A and B are shown apart, each in its own frame.
Chain A
Amino acid sequence: MESLDLASLWSPISLTLQLAVTTTLLLLVLSTPLAWWLARSPCRWKEAVAAVVALPLVLPPTVLGFYLLIALGPSGPGGWVASWFGGRTLAFSFPGLVIGSVLYSLPFVVQPIRNAFAAIGDGPFDAAATLGASPWDRFWTIAVPLARPGFLTGAVLGFAHTVGEFGVVLMIGGSIPGETRVLSVAIYEEVELMNWQNAHLLSAGLLVFSFLVILSMLWLQPRKETA
């Protein structure tokens, strides 16, 4: 029976939290203008863009992971960026995982924010415009506060989805301790090793954590019957 090594169990947990926080913050920054454009633009082609954003919902993570492995590598844009820092590839690195996670969780953040923006309707914006508010003002004082539930849902979903991500990180990570060996990969390896004790411990932790995340989201969501 293997001994319970808490330090080695903690490393993937803290790495996963770092990855999820970084990814969520980046996702909020990227998703806000994108969701705004998708919600408000009259452009005919916006649904095509929305479909591209939603692709990770449908594609198996192995497909995304495979393309990322090529895109991050020496013959793709990732290798080009890596060469500025004397590297060869962005795969097997924390930044590489962040890129993969952002793409993979993008629809989970864009969709709720887009819906929230769309639900506001034209009324409040027209009224504010009549009162002389600039588009920038209107965005920050009307759209963002009114879409707050959408931001919350998006952030929670993006965070939770990144924590639970497996296929993509397995394919582009290379299981480097403290760098790319995240929780889901650690669990996978403990199972391969038949270290049931560790696998149980990490899996049960993740289960409880996921439950709490979903529960908190349901509590945070304003609902018609309570409003």
Chain B
Amino acid sequence: MRQSRLAFFCFTLLFGLAPRTPAEEVSFAVASNFASTARELIDTYLDGNWRGGNKYHISPRSTAKLTTQIQQGAPFDVLLSADQFHVQTLIDEGLAVKDTSFTYALGILVLYSASEPDLIQGKDTLREGKFQKISLANPAFAPYGKAALEVMQKLKVEEKLRPKFVLGSNLLQAFSYIETGNAELGFVALAQVLDAPPGSYWVIPQDLYRPIRQDAVLLKRAEKNAEARRFLDFLRSPQAQAIIKKAGYRLEAP
């Protein structure tokens, strides 16, 4: 009896001195268009909240692929999606924690040309269609591709332009087609263009496409991961929002 009490005392002494939160790992599944911003956010978060031993990983991929991987049991704690649909799917399937989802950023769609500075003249560029190839992410599954298609439908140029479509399997690929000059222009995210060498771009008015809501959610596996929850709180802070805005996104009106 006495011995066990002594053991308990030693145990308390030892672990009472250690940091109160044990080291936790947070593994982020991040939509590839947001990966570099996520990295910046995590760095900023750690500046103010460093707890020794905590580890952070970022896995950037298309939202659809991340969702499939999560459905197959991939060990992610937080999903920063490029849309709402996949987050909702995961919640419906019980793979994400219901009340933790929120819109962390609104994507801004731009029409961009890397090679021809005079090509982009607002709507007229699309109406006149004086180009051979226009690049966009595949509208069948990529959120920014869907938005691009909506813009063209709204401007009634979709049928005319469809033969000129080249589809990237994701936003990054659509961007690479423009960057290499294989497509004269295309629809990408403002966030990508801000990092790119100068070309010309047109920020597409929001009334031409439904807002691209990029949602974040805590995944089921991390339900008890306090560190992951703290990061999600940070993501809503003014400090984080300033970074997101600067990177080329809008914020949801409060």
A interface with B by C-beta (< 8 Å): 69-70, 72-75, 79, 87-89, 91-92, 170-171, 174-176, 185, 188-189, 191-194
Contact = CB atoms under 8 A, between A and B. Distances in A.
Interface in B191-221: none
Given A175-B169, A193-B140, A194-B68, A75 B132 contact: no
A193 B141 contact: yes
B165 interface: yes
Nearest to A175: B167
Contacts of A175: 138, 166-167, 169
Given A88-B133, A176-B166, A73 B180 contact: yes
Nearest to B173: A171
A186 to B, nearest CB: 11
B165 A176 contact: yes
B140 A92 contact: no
Contacts of B166: 91-92, 174-176
13 contacts: A72-B182, A73-B182, A74-B182, A87-B132, A91-B177, A91-B182, A92-B166, A171-B176, A174-B133, A174-B183, A185-B169, A189-B169, A194-B64
Contacts of A176: 165-167
A185 B169 CA distance: 9
B184 interface: yes
Nearest to B169: A170
B135 A174 contact: yes
A185 B141 CA distance: 14
A192 B141 contact: yes
Interface residues of B, number: 25
Nearest to A73: B182
Nearest to A74: B181
Interface of B: 62, 64-65, 67-68, 115, 132-133, 135, 138, 140-141, 165-169, 173, 176-177, 180-184
Contact of A192 (B132, B133, B135, B169): B169
Contacts of B167: 174-176
Given A73-B181, A87-B132, A89-B181, A188 B176 contact: no
A174 B140 CA distance: 13
Contacts of B133: 88-89, 92, 174
Nearest to B71: A194
A170 to B, nearest CB: 6
Contacts of A69: 176-177, 180, 182
B180 A88 contact: no
Task: Give the interface centre of A75, A170, A175, A185 by most chain B CB atoms within 10 Å.
Answer: A175
A216 B177 CA distance: 39
A88 B134 CA distance: 12
A164 B140 CA distance: 23
Nearest to B167: A175
A211 to B, nearest CB: 25
A69 to B, nearest CB: 5
